[in-house]
């Protein structure tokens, strides 16, 4: 055995520390390494069954996310449907009128109406670049459309081709064809055109089902005359009323729909046309994500008639209707504010002949409930003249069934306006009606007020009557379902309603030649 040399006397020599410190140091370093490893592992984008630091909730969310199918593009759909979309160009000769400012205006809608404002921002002469015109010159317009059959029938907007002397379409492959207008329908803003030159056009199918809010939508058209363009968004609402008329039932979409897209299709993810783009709302004229499309169901009905006879015939029952508000429902003893209130049946119309009276509420048509006045108008308008319908009517608190034969909706609606603003002149001051804040006098004592009812001669601007829209010159024909001719009869009807613990009383009022019902709240004392 060899002896070890004694190195303790050397200056540089230090006795090795074999103490607990070395073990602690090793343990500390190991824990640090382990901690860093865990941190790196925890923030790693990948996961594995060995992820012991993930909470059960976090793991569950990750598992659910993995199950969701990742979104894909719309290229396959667009490739299939885009060839069916066309650009529509029109020439209108010497048909523009100039206003005092010198601006041209050829909107087919009533000046100042919501559709006229939408039209100007969407597809009209001053709605987008590409429209040229002036007094005595040719107006050129441009919109969009799409084929619905291989033989060249195509759909666009009425306001795109209305009054056109020449219609030319350009297909997706750049070819141009002449087209003729088969028929138009101003009430829905739809038009059917026929493109000549081929019998094998690619065409789109109108969807059979209604879109759901949140469904994807693809708008294809010719914005700004740039050529075929596709934008995507979702259906944001349905059943929209934009004030164009009683047949409003628009789909609201948020896909960027710009000037020149008017008449173009809105496709669903099945490649079927869910609607025809017809209007946008925008303060600037460009898309802000609010566009309106005519539903495919409406397009089918209208186009079928346009193809058959070039025009659209709608059913008509001959009533002036208004919505049933909660106040009106309470006055009539109805549990729900539903149905359409008949303000006045037109003389010799189908409804009047069948016994429907003012104050009746139409609650269903052929067994289908009527939600509101607009729904009644759409339902009846979608039926053919001459058809027999069964109406459920609430008549003076009692349900009854009325059968009638539909007439045909007149092409023009006469608007009778009472322009006699001097109806109160020469009359007595009238008698106050307590608690309502207005003064009335017998109509036969006021020049121009007629022989029936009582005329309003004064309204307190802070009264319940003023809040409900009463104004001087209005004629109250009925109160609480009873005809009135004096202020005393008005007071008696109000007292009766108060005794019956009613919160409001229903009055039939004639104003400007039109009748309406107004529910007026009544005081309990």
| pLDDT tens-place string over residues 49-71 | 444 444 555 556 565 655 556 55
Do residues 109 and 271 touch, judged by C-beta distance below 8 A? no
Nearest to residue 156, comparing CAs of 241, 68, 89?
A: 89
DSSP class per residue in 36-83 = HHHHHHHT-S---TT-TTS-HHHHHHHHHHHHSPPP--SHHHHHHHGG
Specify the pairing of strand 250-253 against strand 229-240: antiparallel
Distance, in Å, from the CA atom of 474 to the CA atom of 469, rounded to the nearest integer, reads: 10
Structure tokens at 146: 């799409």
Provide mean pLDDT across the span 218-224: 81
> Tens digit of pLDDT for each residue in 487-525?
888 888 888 888 887 788 888 888 877 888 888 887 655
Region 210-225: mean pLDDT is 85
Per-residue pLDDT at 98 exceeds 80: no
Q: What is the pLDDT of residue 392?
A: 93
Give yes or no for residue 205 having a pLDDT over 60: yes
- Predicted confidence band of residue 84 (pLDDT cuts 50, 70, 90): very high
pLDDT in tens, 391-441: 999 998 889 999 999 998 876 443 332 333 333 333 445 666 656 778 888
Three-state SS letters, 410-450 = CCCCCCCCCCCCCCCCCCCCCEEECCCCEEEEEHHHCCCCC
pLDDT, position 459? 85
CB 438 within 8 A of CB 491: no
Whether the predicted pLDDT of 89 surpasses 60: yes
Kind plus residue range of the DSSP H or E element containing 32:
helix 20-42
Strands (E), 137-212: 138-147, 153-157, 166-170, 176-185, 190-195
Q: Which residues are catalytic?
A: 159, 189, 262
**Residue range 265-294, pLDDT digits in tens:** 999 999 999 999 987 765 555 556 688 899
Mean pLDDT (whole number) for 244-269: 81
Distance CA 291, CA 142 (A): 18
> What's the whole-number mean pLDDT along residues 234-254?
76
**What is d(CA 34, CA 42) in angstroms, rounded to the nearest whole number?**
12
User: In whole numbers, what is the pLDDT of the chain averaged over residues?
Assistant: 76
The secondary structure of the chain in percent helix, strand, coil, rounded to multiples of 5, reads 20, 30, 45
pLDDT band at 390 (very low <50, low <70, confident <90, very high): very high
């Amino acid at each position: 055995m060899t002896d070890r040399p004694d190195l303790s006397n050397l200056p540089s020599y230090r006795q090795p520390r074999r103490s607990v410190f070395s073990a602690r140091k090793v343990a500390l370093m190991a824990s640090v390494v382990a901690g860093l490893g865990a941190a790196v592992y925890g923030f790693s984008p990948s996961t594995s069954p060995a992820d012991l630091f993930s909470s059960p909730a976090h793991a569950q969310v990750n598992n659910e996310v993995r199950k969701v199918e990742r979104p894909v593009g719309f290229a396959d759909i667009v490739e299939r449907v885009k060839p069916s979309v066309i650009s529509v160009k029109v020439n209108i000769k010497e048909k523009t009128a100039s206003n005092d400012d010198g601006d041209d205006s050829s909107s087919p809608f009533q000046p100042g109406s919501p559709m006229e404002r939408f039209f100007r921002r969407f597809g009209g002469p001053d709605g987008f670049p590409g429209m040229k015109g002036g007094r005595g010159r040719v107006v050129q317009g441009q919109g969009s459309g799409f084929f619905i059959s291989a033989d060249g029938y195509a759909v666009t907007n009425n306001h795109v081709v209305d009054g056109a002397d020449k219609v030319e379409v350009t297909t997706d492959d750049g070819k141009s064809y002449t087209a003729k207008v088969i028929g138009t329908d101003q009430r829905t803003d739809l038009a059917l055109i026929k493109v000549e030159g081929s019998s094998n056009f690619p065409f789109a199918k109108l969807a059979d089902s209604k879109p759901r809010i949140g469904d994807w939508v693809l708008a294809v058209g010719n914005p700004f005359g740039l050529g075929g363009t596709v934008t995507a968004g979702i259906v944001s609402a349905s059943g929209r009323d934009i004030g164009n008329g009683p047949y409003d039932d628009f789909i609201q979409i948020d896909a960027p729909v710009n000037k020149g897209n008017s008449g173009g299709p809105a496709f669903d993810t099945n490649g079927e046309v869910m609607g025809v783009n017809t209007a946008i709302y925008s303060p600037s004229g460009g898309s802000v994500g609010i566009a309106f499309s005519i539903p495919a169901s409406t397009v089918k009905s209208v186009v079928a008639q346009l193809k058959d006879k070039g025009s659209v015939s709608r059913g008509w029952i001959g009533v002036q209707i208004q919505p049933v508000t909660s106040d009106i429902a309470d006055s009539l003893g109805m549990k729900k504010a539903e149905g359409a209130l008949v303000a006045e049946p037109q003389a010799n119309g189908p409804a009047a002949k069948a016994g429907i009276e003012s104050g009746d509420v139409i609650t269903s048509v052929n067994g289908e409930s009527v939600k509101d006045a607009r729904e009644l108008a759409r339902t009846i308008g979608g039926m053919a003249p001459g058809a027999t319908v069964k109406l459920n009517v609430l008549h003076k608190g009692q349900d009854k069934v009325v059968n009638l034969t539909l007439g045909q909706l007149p092409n023009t609606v006469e608007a009778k306006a009472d322009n006699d603003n001097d109806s109160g002149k020469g009359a007595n001051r009238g008698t106050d009606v307590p608690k309502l804040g207005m003064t009335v006098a017998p109509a036969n004592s006021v020049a121009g007020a007629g022989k029936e009812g009582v005329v309003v001669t004064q309204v307190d601007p802070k009264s319940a009557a003023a809040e409900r829209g009463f104004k001087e010159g209005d004629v109250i024909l009925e109160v609480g379902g009873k005809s009135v001719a004096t202020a005393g009869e008005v007071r008696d009807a109000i007292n009766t309603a108060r005794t019956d613990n009613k919160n409001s009383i229903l009055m039939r009022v004639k104003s400007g030649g039109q009748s309406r019902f107004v529910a007026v709240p009544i005081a309990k004392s």
